[in-house]
Structure 1
Amino acid sequence: MTPISIFWFRRDLRLTDNAALYHALNGDYPVLPLFIFDQNILEKLPKDDARVTFIYQTVEALKKQLRQQGSDLLVKYGAPEKVWPEILKEYHVKEVYANHDYEPYARERDDNMAEFLTSEEIVFKTYKDQVIFEKDEILKADKTPYTVFTPFYKQWHAKLNDFYIKAYPTKKYFKNLLQTRHLPSPGLKEMGFEKSKLDFPKINYKNKLDDYAKERDFPALDGTTHVGLHLRFGTLSIRKAVKDALEAKSNVWLSELAWREFYMTIIWHFPYAAFDSFKKQYDKIKWRNNEDEFKAWREGNTGYPIVDAGMRQLNQTGWMHNRVRMIVGSFLSKHLLIDWRWGEAYFAEKLLDYEMASNVGGWQWAAGSGNDAAPYFRVFNPELQTKRFDPKLEYIKKWVPEFGTKNYAQPIVEHSFARERVLKVFKEALSD
């Protein structure tokens, strides 16, 4: 058998500007690209999960591109720990290349894979790809990680230069791909999934950058970039996104890209924060966790139109405007006193652009338990948020057509009562 290298696609589903793929193609052996539909992740998802459709379609497109180079993509379905021993029976693998991932499950998976591959005398090489700076690259003077965004961003921005955003010239080395016959791959149905009916946003953000700072907070406008899904699965390179932000002088969008990296740094250094409050005293809060109120929130029937509009947008499209994400998050954790983890899990199920670090970070920010200098008594007033960000009620009327009629739900809780209640409950928990 011919000795080969394998490049393992995960959250980096593109052939251009891909760090580990570049290094693999510059290695000593022909490169066979691999993608594993990970059963450990898939078995927890609903059968019509739109993200699985997106990944499937992207993987099919990669196969097509690789076949044009006389190569192909090896696609497997199963748990990685079971799939890899099968691959080693089929191929004489000398090296495996992959890009870093920072979430708790991915870290455990990669540690186990490194151990297994080393035991088989196979070299496992991994690289930074989905962020500009990772792990220990941005630290305070005392070598501890930043836990507040603004000082983190100052250093992130100061360190940024052309070296970090230079694209990896993978195309130059496609001749080093393994030349192979067409390889079969499992279909969606075979894996137990149905094709989703949701639409996926295209990568088309450059025309948004000039007005991004002015328009991004208004949910009735199409003023955001919709690249979350593409950054999540790596169909867009973070280096390209940052380069475009710098060229357009869109400092606000640049800082949004840095927020994503800040939250990934937090989850790397404080993995407990994926499941528990970053500020540990917040785990003492006595949540009400009323099931009926949670159902009303999920379905967009709280009687607070900006909240309901956001939840209906999420349920129908798999996306919610970022300003509204903050409002619905604050409403669930503060007005209804429902544990932020309930909301985080619901977003994890519904959001096309779900990314654990950013989602957990955003929810903990809304609940007050996360990386934020703001005090716990910040409680968004949905009415004031509406006046400020949807003054003509265009967003609300689009998603809540019965708003203003007798068919619209009565408010589930009165704002000033809810505010007083949450302040009392939080104060009790935090003064222990």
Structure 2
Amino acid sequence: MNAVLIAVTLMLALSLSRIHVVISILISAVIGGLCGGLTLAKTIAAFNGGLGGGAGIALSYALLGAFALALAESGLPHAMADGLTKLSQKSSNSQRVKWGILLAVLAVSISSQNLLPIHIAFIPLLIPPLLYTLAKYKLDRRALACVMTFGLITPYMLFPVGFGEIFLKQILLGSIAKSGLDASQVNVMHAMALPALGMMIGLLTAVFVTYRKPRQYNIDALKAVEREDIRYSLRSISVAITAMVVTFIVQLLADSMLLGALAGFAICVVGGAVPWRNADSVFSEGMKMMAGIGLIMIAASGFAEVLKATGDVASLVEQSAGWIGNSKALAAFLMLLVGLIVTLGIGSSFSTVPILATIYVPLAMKLGFSPEAIVCLVGTAGALGDAGSPASDSTLGPTAGLNIDGQHNHMWDTVVPTFLHYNLPLMAFGWVAVMVL
């Protein structure tokens, strides 16, 4: 049996059984490597060789955690919570405030991919201060996870700007061109419109159907995390807001979450929002807060390297091509399914597309798919699995913001909801799009 299928299935099964994701990844990497014909020594060597690929993002996460805790020390979360409380008290319709917050989070999530391409950096800064108010409204955090994941994925697979310019033009069209098809004249927005519509339907289903009912959270647990003994002043709030603005600017100019978070933390300390005597402890505690997410990213990078080392990623694609025959409908379905499996394991759509395009493009051309259909096929196959992967930053990011008080499980409250609400409609709408284009 294919080593990629074994490793990914085992990793998902262990994670869903509430075994820590890092342990699940380690076990699955070893089993996958051995099943793929690698010796134990080569498997470990491949895993170790891939760890460096996730180190940069892990360190960025850790520094973002330190910056987020510095903002908490400034009193900004309490100021936001107090402001929202007053707003809800003044409003004749408290539900309007709740939906307003959801829409604001959706807008920021979408903007993080294009207008303000900071990706997941906004989550640990924006989401924790909102949780106290949303807990009072009994908003199901799974709905909020789906909102953020939609905003982190759909823009890059539809709009060719920001991260979308990288995914659609550089990676997708570039990989297709290298595989023998000039698709430069294809309108990528038109090709990906139906799959994006599937994502939209998944979002609406999650917010208005699946997770519409109130969900109770422990307010005391949130209060303990927010440390209500902290007082804030106009000066501390001004310093915190300045630090956030500088963080975003530095990240945009330097293209580095790490430098942006470091600059923001430094401003909080220099500006007095974090007392100098507390700076070291705040930095350490903040890094600890995000350490788990960072370890998952590092382990996932090693896991992906083991899968590549087995050679069974390409083998899985080639095997699916052998099952297809001359059926375009079956071809489209199997190629999308394989894309889902590969991305679930690797955790990155951007890394999956070049792997898939090598086999998919010649096969799709042979079967008579149009250039627009091929762009849609490869693009959707790559995007599938970004939502719902335990190792994707599109799921790890939302969990980092929603689980500050230990009341949001990564697998059952982020991974499973986003998998069901996005991968299933994306698969269906992607298949329809490929067949009609």
Higher relative contact order (CA 8 A, sep 6+): 2
TM range (shorter): under 0.3
| Structure number having the greater helix percentage | 2
TM-score normalised over the length of structure 2: 0.25
**Larger Rg over CA atoms:** 1
